[in-house]
Amino acid sequence: MSASGKSVSRRWLYIPFIIAGIILFAYFMLWRFGANEMEKAVHAWVGDQRAAGLTVDHGEIKKSGFPFFLRVIIDDPAIASGNEWRWRGETLALDALPYNLNKLIFSPGGEQEFAVNGSGEWQGRADDFRASIANDETRGWAFALTLGDAAMTRIADGASLNVQVLILDLAPAVEDQTTLTLNLAGENIRVIENDAEFVLDSIKTSIALTQTQYLSLPAAADSWRNAGGALKIGGFESVIGDAVFNAHGEIELDAFNYPSGNVNADIKNPAAIVNALGAAGVITMEDAEAAGAGLTLMALTSGGKISAPVELTDGVAMIGGVKIADLTPVQ
């Protein structure tokens, strides 16, 4: 083979590397474009929220994640709505794939503080805290949240909330996008307040809220009620110790905006359920003790489990004529 022939052959060896370099450069440019677009979107969102009357502050905005994903990290994020609620964190990371900005993942990091009017100021952190919002071909959009090993403490009195696992997804229904569907599952949720402890070993629920387009109107509860809005419970299960509560049914609002309707329920060890409701402040402890005794007797006469509707009427919830909760009107 001639010298010129060997030279031509060697040049061919460089072609794959040249192609790879071009592809890598193009991918880097795509990543850079996506990162810039995400940063622009953050600034635009901040401007929109401020225009809507919210208070939004943040520190430095940084970009990272190359080559596998786009990441925008916001230092010292804070958002508040007057005296209604506020949240502040050490960092907030926004993640997306460079070739698909239709799904964003939000991950607050470090110590966090939040306050809701009437609930006090809380602080804490979570080992796993992720939320995402994505476009969906059939439902329009979908929101998901994962919370793991979270611990919160109320600053004023030391009340605490601990969550081992909480997973939920929220999206419009496929058949009617004015109906929102929520699926939720949680494990080992513990609340301690005023030396009283409430432990929810597990919870699973699948519900749908209809006529949600009326909830953004003034006098939202009245508008939603008049439009025939309903909360449809496809399935609900809670476990507290050896007590199990299963339910399904439909709830509406009465003329005074109290929850109203019949929910079919199966209850094992009902006394533990109403005692937990008493500890949570849904019913007085005196009423909880009386309800526990009545429901236990009812369960004993039916094989240890109650299968009966929970009647929501006139501001109270009752099973077989026994009050298990005081209801509050929806504002």
Residues 6 or more apart whose Cβ sits within 8 Å of residue 102? 134, 135
Rounded to whole angstroms, the Cα distance separating 133 from 185 reads: 18
**Higher-scoring residue by pLDDT: 10, 155:** 155
E strands in the chain: 55-57, 61-64, 70-75, 78-81, 85-97, 100-116, 120-136, 140-154, 160-172, 180-193, 196-209, 231-240, 243-253, 259-268, 305-313, 316-319, 322-326
**Higher-scoring residue by pLDDT: 61, 239:** 239
> Per-residue pLDDT for 248 more than 80?
yes
**Higher-scoring residue by pLDDT: 66, 227:** 227
Rounded to whole angstroms, the Cα distance separating 74 from 69 reads: 16
pLDDT tens-digit profile of 52-76?
Answer: 888 999 999 887 767 667 788 899 9
Mean per-residue pLDDT of the chain? 86
Q: What is the mean pLDDT of residues 270-274?
A: 86
The pLDDT confidence band at residue 301, using thresholds 50, 70 and 90, is: confident
Helix (H, G, I), strand (E, B) or coil at 290: helix
The pLDDT confidence band at residue 8, using thresholds 50, 70 and 90, is: low
DSSP per residue, 232-274: EEEEEEEEETTEEEEEEEEEEE-TTS-EEEEEEEEEESHHHHH
Omega before residue 270 within 30° of 0, cis: no
Q: What is the mean pLDDT of residues 197-209?
A: 93
> Per-residue pLDDT for 17 more than 50?
yes
Other Cβ atoms closer than 10 A to 287: 19
Amino acid letter, residue 110: G
Rounded to whole angstroms, the Cα distance separating 26 from 24 reads: 5
pLDDT tens-digit profile of 128-153?
Answer: 999 998 888 888 899 999 999 999 99
> Per-residue pLDDT for 6 more than 60?
no
Burial classification of residue 315, based on how many CB atoms lie within 10 Å of its CB (0-12 exposed, 13-18 middle, 19 or more buried): middle
The whole model's pTM is what?
Answer: 0.81
Percent of the chain scoring above 90 in pLDDT = 51
Percent of the chain scoring above 70 in pLDDT = 88
**Higher-scoring residue by pLDDT: 257, 284:** 257
> Per-residue pLDDT for 1 more than 50?
no
Rounded to whole angstroms, the Cα distance separating 264 from 282 reads: 20
Query: What single DSSP character describes residue 229?
Result: -
